[in-house]
Amino acid sequence: MKKNNLNNLNKVMILLSILFFIIGTCLIIVNIINNDNTTYNYKIIKNNDFKIYLKDNNFYENNILNKNNKYDYFVSKSIDKIKINFNYKFNSNKIININYKYNITSQIVSNIDNEDKLIWNKNYVLKEQKEYKINSNTFNINDSIDIDYNYYNLYAKEYEEEYKIKTNQILKIYLNVIFKTNLNNKEYKDYIEIDIPLTDTYTSITNNYEKNTIYKIEKDNNYINYIIGSSFILISILFIFVILLRKENKSNINLKKCCVLDMR
């Protein structure tokens, strides 16, 4: 009876050993397949357009100016408002899960005149954050904002008049983008920046960003599957070792019995 119980126990351990070995091997193979291509390339294309709406005047044929007019500078007092359109396009080489969000902000930056040393700044949120979740290889942000240039210009002048100083003041308009993929736990931050000088008799619109950029997203390796798979394989090897050890002990016992009988 005891012998049968041992044989049954050995059979159960052999089956469990085979099962654990298969599960462990499958986990490792699946992880290797999933991590076969750990690098994803993506390209970002940034662009912007603008329109300058002028106050009523007797000098310009058209009171709406844009890039096509090819003016390098604009008379500050002639500006009523500025409309800026942002375009931000993300393209990946493969379809992935993407969470992305963006907002539009502005900032008055005041530097010491003729030096790039900050002495004052003020931040504004022009458009509240919008958030999206998609499964795709691309997303496109196309949004615009009206800039009350006179408000910022007068506010910057008040600062200079209040403290009787001459500064280099710039209005910075930002499209701020944050995106995250299912490939790793990293958040990627990006932006489009437009610079517009303040307090001067004339102003300009300058792009302060790279239009086309190519990046790589490194995929996180799932080490948990490796650990669990390796653990199952080790358990299966341990079961085999126990079975072999029992057989060896059983053989030794039988051998001792034979020796005792022979001595008799």
Phi-psi region of 33 (alpha: psi -120 to 50; beta: other; left: phi over 0): alpha
User: pLDDT > 90: what percent of the chain?
Assistant: 53
Confidence check: pLDDT of 28 > 70? no
pLDDT at residue 235, as a whole number:
75
Domain co-membership, 7 together with 125: no
What are 207-244's pLDDT values in tens digits?
999 998 888 776 655 556 656 767 767 777 776 776 66
Regarding whether 165 and 44 lie in a shared domain, the answer is yes
- Give me 251's structure tokens: 């053989």
| Whether residue 99 is found in the same domain as residue 175 | yes
In whole angstroms, what is the distance from residue 127 CA to residue 157 CA?
25
**pTM for the structure as a whole:** 0.72
152 and 190 fall within a common domain: yes
Please tell me the predicted confidence (pLDDT) of residue 37: 53
Cα-based angle 139, 141, 144 (whole degrees, multiple of 5): 170
Q: Mean pLDDT score of the chain, rounded to an integer?
A: 83
Alpha-carbon span 140 to 250, nearest angstrom: 72
pLDDT of residue 68: 87
> What per-residue confidence (pLDDT) applies to 260?
45
Q: Are residues 29 and 157 in the same domain?
A: no
Q: How many domains does the chain have?
A: 2
pLDDT at 40: 80
Contact assessment for residue 104 and residue 86, using Cβ atoms and an 8 Å cutoff:
yes
Judged against a pLDDT cut of 80, whether residue 179 lies above it is answered with yes
Please say whether the beta carbons of 44 and 209 come within 8 A: no
pLDDT tier at 163, thresholds 50, 70, 90: very high
What confidence score (pLDDT) does residue 233 get? Answer: 74
Q: What pLDDT is stored for residue 238 in this prediction?
A: 77
* Same-domain check for residues 145 and 243: no
User: Do 167 and 60 lie in a common domain?
Assistant: yes
Domain residues for the domain of 150 are: 39-218
pLDDT tens digits along 245-256: 766 555 544 544
Specify whether 201 is located in the same domain as 142. yes
Same domain? For 61 and 112 the reply is yes
Same domain, yes or no: 122 and 243: no
In a shared domain, residues 196 and 92? yes
The whole-angstrom separation of Cα 194 and Cα 172 is 6
Is the per-residue pLDDT at 32 higher than 70? no
Mean pLDDT of 175-193: 92
Among 4-18, 133-147, 167-181, whose mean pLDDT is lowest? 4-18
**Number of other residues whose CB lies within 10 A of the CB of residue 173:** 25
Going by pLDDT thresholds of 50, 70 and 90, the confidence category of residue 261 is: very low
CA distance 170 to 153: 9
Percent of the chain with pLDDT over 70: 75
DSSP 201: S
> Are 243 and 225 a contacting pair, CB within 8 Å?
no
| pLDDT tens-digit map of 35-85 | 555 568 899 999 999 999 999 999 998 999 998 888 999 999 999 999 999
- Per-residue pLDDT for 173 more than 90? yes
The reply to whether 73 and 193 lie within a common domain is: yes
- The average pLDDT across 24-33 equals 66
The set of residues, in sequence order, having a beta carbon less than 8 Å from that of 261 and lying 6+ positions away, is none
